[in-house]
Amino acid sequence: MTIRPAGPGDLASVAAVYEHYARTTVITFDEAGLDRAAWEAKAGTGWPFLVAEVEGVVAGFGYAGPYRPKPAYRYTVEDSLYISPEYTGRGLGRALLRELMVRSREAGARQMIAVIADAQPASVGLHVAEGFTEAGRLRDVGFKLGRWVDTALYQRALS
């Protein structure tokens, strides 16, 4: 496994991984995949955008982005991690999260927030193992796949 910055040639693979989650799960509140322009915008925020590559295949990705748009939040980022279903359980999420934390700190972030839909056990376990603590829960804030979905907020200081 190699963790590296995403390049323009990775965005189609990133989009394919994401589309699976957007269309079939509540892990993201997007209901369809994103187009290339949306991925270019996410990759162009100045915050880390990484891919996990296994034997030449983009098997997952993670990025940090602004937590909220208001200026006072400029030192707080939100992490997003997605692993292709055939590569889950191999430590890619942990490797991506660790590198995202390092690179986000180096880029000036002081806090990282994880917004975990439906308190997914694997995502919660990963974040807790990496030092995140629960900061709150928002009930019934998303409606997807015919049901209401909560989000759990987890937070970790980076400095």
Sheet containing 133-144: which strands, arranged edge to edge? Answer: 2-5, 49-54, 57-66, 76-83, 111-117, 147-157, 133-144
Beta strands in 14-146 (DSSP E): 49-54, 57-66, 76-83, 111-117, 133-144
pLDDT digits (tens, 9 = 90+) for 63-116: 999 999 999 999 999 999 999 999 999 999 999 999 999 999 999 999 999 999
Structure token digits, residue 136: 């709150």
**Pick from 90, 86, 85, 99: nearest CA to 51:** 99
The predicted model gives 33-52 an average pLDDT of 96
Q: What is the mean pLDDT of residues 21-44?
A: 96
The total of other beta-carbon atoms located within 10 Å of residue 43's CB is 21
**Verdict on whether the full-model pTM lies above 0.85:** yes
- Residue 8, pLDDT score: 95
Nearest CA to 18 among 54, 58, 55?
Answer: 58
| CATH class of the region 2-157 | alpha beta
Cβ neighbors of 71 (< 8 A, separation 6 or more) are: none
Domain segments of the chain as ranges: 2-157
User: pLDDT digits over 119-130, tens only?
Assistant: 899 999 999 999
Q: Is the pLDDT of residue 159 over 90?
A: no
Task: Using alpha carbons, list the distances in angstroms from residue 12 to 28, 39, 60, 115.
Answer: 18, 9, 12, 25
Average pLDDT over the chain, rounded to an integer = 97
Structure tokens, 17:
């991984």
